[in-house]
Amino acid sequence: MAEVFIHVHFAADAPVASDEWESMMIELDAVSQVLLLLMFTAGGVVLGRIPGRAGLLGRVERAEKNAAAAEKLSVEHQRSSENMWERCRESDEQIRTLQLSVVQIPEIAQRLSGVRDLREIPEHALDLCQEIFEPSYSMFYRVNKGQLVAVSRRGSCEFNVGHQLEPGEGLVGWTAVKQLPITPEDCEHENAVVKQRNLDRCMPSRGFSLTLPIVAGERTVGVILMGPSPRTMPHAREIGRTIAMITAVAITSTLVLKKEQLMAKTDGLTGLLNKTSIYQRLVDLISAETPPSKVSIFLLDIDHFKNYNDTNGHLPGDELLQGLGRLLSENSRQNEHIGRYGGEEFLLVLEDATKDEALAAAERIREMVETTAFAHRELQPGGAVTISGGVATWPLDAGDVDSLIRSADEALYAAKGAGRNRVVVCDSSGSGSEVAAEAFALDGELEKIE
């Protein structure tokens, strides 16, 4: 590269003319332009190229594209960050909901375990489902005589209380058969046969979110159906299964308690009320705050029961007592209470019945027993199983329970003494005791003859 040397000499004492000064400045200006050009050219050489207008435009265009891409990437990152925060908020809400549900489980168990009325358990179970899942509706089906019957409902649904389904019929019936919780996703994965045979029938038109089988041991005792829910519930199936399990325990416990209470009240052989229970029933009627105006009783006894036992054995004797208990139970009418009073004695309590009405009921029972074909009846005296009984009415014949039973017992012995297979009405005049005493003596003589 050519070297350029510029020498400018100024004489200290020599004056410079103005024309020479102007000429010098012009030369210096030209020289500076050349220097700038050389510097720019040298810079282009160092960079590898001499930029032109087209190059500058290309760089500007690329810079704009890079800036647009960076801006787009920034927007995407911002949107992703917003979505992430939204998911975090949803997760926090789900966690809080799950925590609330977990906290409520002990309360669920306590509330359901405290229910002792079998009819109240479905109501409490649906209340809990509504609190936790917030479905648009919920229904409780109980198994009754082999069918699923809707016994309780919350919210609006096309199925009403009393709606009945066979096991396997519709969504509820299929849940009862499978004994597993079912979601809409589970229905989608079922095979075509199940969909056509089971699920297509009685499917809720408003949709559903979950069904829960109530299983006690190996037996389905009920099904809970829940409608769509706006709440996203993590582990909904597991929480629902817990509710169903607690409900099943509550139902089982109530049934066991009811059975124990029933066993405490009933006679183990005949299934009728035992002596304590039938006596208490009579006490409750007479001592009620507003008792009926009259209460009659019919105390009856199997004729020649000792002969039946001695001839046929004690096991057939027990079977005779069981058969008579079934006969009395199946033919008792409204406001009639029947119980085994001891041995071969039975007591019928008739609410608000006059003495004549009680006598008519007693005769109806006596004739029914006489004409029933009990086993070994032909070996009994007279070729039939018969009864004798006494009728008494409160307050006409007695002022309290014990006196009333004693009056009926005296009339019973009078019937025995009069030849058996008959009903005697208590004589409220007071002569009944004397008749009963004579009848008892005659009865003893008859036993000796037999």
Same domain, 233 and 132: yes
pLDDT of residue 118: 82
Q: Is the pLDDT of residue 195 over 70?
A: yes
Residue 379 lies in a domain: yes
CATH code for position 121:
3.30.450.40
Beta pairing partners, 181:
none
Nearest to 198 by CA among 222, 175, 216: 175
Same domain, 280 and 251: no
Query: Higher pLDDT residue, 63 or 345?
Result: 345
Give the number of domains in the chain.
2
Nearest to 180 by CA among 240, 270, 251, 231: 240
Same domain, 294 and 410: yes
Same domain, 251 and 312: no
Same domain, 380 and 411: yes
Q: Is the pLDDT of residue 234 over 90?
A: no
pLDDT of residue 447: 46
Q: Is the pLDDT of residue 127 over 60?
A: yes
Same domain, 134 and 238: yes
Query: Higher pLDDT residue, 362 or 197?
Result: 362
Same domain, 365 and 439: yes
**Final residue before a domain boundary, out of 203, 231, 263:** 263
Same domain, 429 and 312: yes
pLDDT of residue 46: 46
- DSSP-based three-state secondary structure for 353: coil
pLDDT of residue 119: 86
**What is the rounded average pLDDT of the residues 429-449?**
45
* pTM of the complete model beyond 0.95: no
Same domain, 154 and 232: yes
Cβ neighbourhood burial of 179 (10 Å; 0-12, 13-18, 19+): middle
**What is the rounded average pLDDT of the residues 196-208?**
86
pLDDT of residue 10: 43
Same domain, 237 and 357: no
Residue 84 lies in a domain: no
Instruction: Choose the weakest-confidence range: 101-110, 113-122, 176-185, 385-394.
Output: 101-110
Residue 419 lies in a domain: yes
**Final residue before a domain boundary, out of 241, 263, 285:** 263
Q: Is the pLDDT of residue 445 over 60?
A: no
Q: Which domain holds residue 380?
A: 275-449
Contacts of 336 (CB under 8 A, 6+ apart): 348, 349, 350, 351, 361
For 137-155, the pLDDT digits (tens) are 999 999 998 999 999 999 9
Residue 321 lies in a domain: yes
CATH code for position 411:
3.30.70.270
**What is the rounded average pLDDT of the residues 102-120?**
70
Same domain, 322 and 414: yes
For 30-80, the pLDDT digits (tens) are 555 555 555 555 555 444 454 556 677 777 777 777 777 777 887 777 777
Same domain, 246 and 116: yes
Contacts 24+ apart (CB under 8 A), 354-360: 354/294, 354/296, 354/393, 355/296, 355/391, 355/393, 355/396, 355/397, 355/425, 357/296, 358/296, 358/297, 358/298, 358/391, 358/393, 359/391, 359/423, 359/425
Look up residue 259 and give its two tokens: 């059975």
Instruction: Choose the weakest-confidence range: 27-41, 63-77, 197-211, 301-315.
Output: 27-41
**Alpha helices by DSSP H, 114-169:** 121-133
**Final residue before a domain boundary, out of 228, 263, 298:** 263
Residue 25 lies in a domain: no
Contacts of 373 (CB under 8 A, 6+ apart): none
What's the rounded Cα separation, in Å, for the pair 301 and 151?
43
What's the rounded Cα separation, in Å, for the pair 149 and 235?
28
Residue 411 lies in a domain: yes
Residues with catalytic function: 344
Q: Which band of pLDDT confidence, cut at 50, 70 and 90, is reported for residue 401? A: very high
Residue 127 lies in a domain: yes
What's the rounded Cα separation, in Å, for the pair 163 and 417?
58
Query: Higher pLDDT residue, 250 or 92?
Result: 250
Residue 158 lies in a domain: yes
